[in-house]
Structure formats: C-alpha cells, structure tokens
Amino acid sequence: MPKILVTGGAGFIGSHVVDQFVEKGFEVIVLDDLSTGRASNLNPSAKFYQLDIRDPGVRDVFLTERPEYVSHHAAQMDVRRSVVQPLFDADVNILGSINLIECAKEFGVKRFVYISTGGAVYGEPERVPCEETDAINPICQYGASKHTVEHYLYMYNYNYKLKYTVLRYPNVFGPRQDPHGEAGVVAIFTGKMLAGESVMINGDGQQTRDFVYVGDCARANYLAVIHDHEPGIYNLGWGIPTSINELYETLARVTSYHQAVKYGPAKLGETRHIYLNASKAKKDLGWFPMVSLQDGLEKTVEYFKISEGFV
C-alpha cells in the first residue's frame, strides 16, 4: 500500500485530497496544526499529527512514517492577511515549505506535489487564459511567497533529483469551505444567502475568476502521483471566466435568495481578471474539470444547508 503525507489535511481542500487517496487505497498521513483546519474534517482512516510545518518535529514524522509521496497544502492562504502580515506569510509559506522539502530530500520521497496559486502568481496577467509559461508578476505577498517555493522545487530537482509537481489552483469551492472566513467567495456568499443576510461584493463585481469544484482539484493530486511525468508546473482550471456578479446571480437562484446585492470598495492586492489554460494538465496528467459550476454550487449549498443548520 503506497503511503502519502498530506499537509493541511484537515483543511478545506486538503481534507478532500485525503479522502481521494484513502478511497484509492493509499495509506495517508495527515500533518495539520488545526490553526484553520478542523478536526471534524479529518478522515478516520488517516493517521494524524497535529504539527506546524515550520516545526523541527516534522523531520520526526518523516523518520517514523517514511512517506513515498507528499501533497503539500498547508499554507497561509489569505491574500488580505498576507498584505497586512507579510512576514508571517513568508514565514509559513516559504520557510515551512523548505522544512518539508528538506525532509523529502533526506528521506527519498518519490514525488513532492506542491499546491501553488494560479489566482495570485500571475498578478494582473498580460493575457487570459494564463499559461504556465506566462510572466509571473504577483501583486500580493501571498502570490509572491507561493511562487518562491516553485523556484526551490526546481532547484531541488536540479541539484538533488527530487521529483515534483506544482499544481496552480484556480478559485476552488465546495463543501467544508469556511463560510465565516476570508478565504472563499462562494462559501461566504452561500452562508449569508442561506441566513438571509445582506451580501457585499468588493468592487464592481465585473472581476472574473476560474471557479473549479474541490473534488476536481483533489483528483488532480491523485493523477499527479500515479502518472509518471517530468517535474514541472501545471495550471488547473476551466479556462472560462466567471464574473463575481454572475456567480452571485447563479448562487441566488440556487439558494432562492431575493435581496439586492451591495457593493463595497475593491480589495488591495486582488487581481481583476484571471482564468487558466489547463491543457498541459490534460495532456500530461489526464486531468480536466468534470463538475460544472452549476452542479458544484448545488452540491455546496446542500452541504451548507446541513452543516450550518438551515434544514
């Protein structure tokens, strides 16, 4: 039975990745400090270590468990917090990742799957949909810290032959996303709509994103592990823009929400238009998104109706 370590495996996306690997017969080790993840998200079939990725004790986990693969999701992933607390953002995302990469090198990990951000590394892109070879000009500290680790992985492959796959995620949504946090517009809108509260859109709502259902992103991690391929970077996405106004209107229909939307000031460091060309992932990994925005939103709303007590 192959063994994989999933960092951030109690979080929104990471927990779905854990579920995917458990379902496929992997032995799964979860590393999460529960600062944003939830114990309730943990798959009971996975072995759990509550630990910060910056902790020297991470090496002991590698020594004990000897994972063959790593899927690295743990991160400071709030764009707005990265702008306000850039030192904290860099500490977690860069130094924490290097701690893991060093362990992966020492203990002979077969492939290191690293979760980067297609929504933030390109900054305000020169063209859309973005391709992996396009210019990297992040306009927020989060995008800069995530991209820095991509360089480290290239270096560790060049110098030490550590195989890696970078998955640049789009805007991911689905069950277990925190409707009370800063992280995901779908979860925030859904929580407020189900509660009958007013919804605020930052800016004019014409900004566009590439929304992909969380299950599709979890499947990409599995495909990155089972398909032999050259180390490199892969966009995930539909390659189709959806405006925040369009998202709002679709969610309002799904939730039967009838209040008028409110508009507030745009947020510093947020990209205006971003969507991703994922043809490379399709060619090399056999990955493409399968759950439509409409179907994904319906699944998400049904989950929140139960988890937030709206049924």
**Known catalytic residues?**
142
Tell me if 75 sits within 8 A of 93, measured CB to CB.
yes
304 bridge partner residues: none
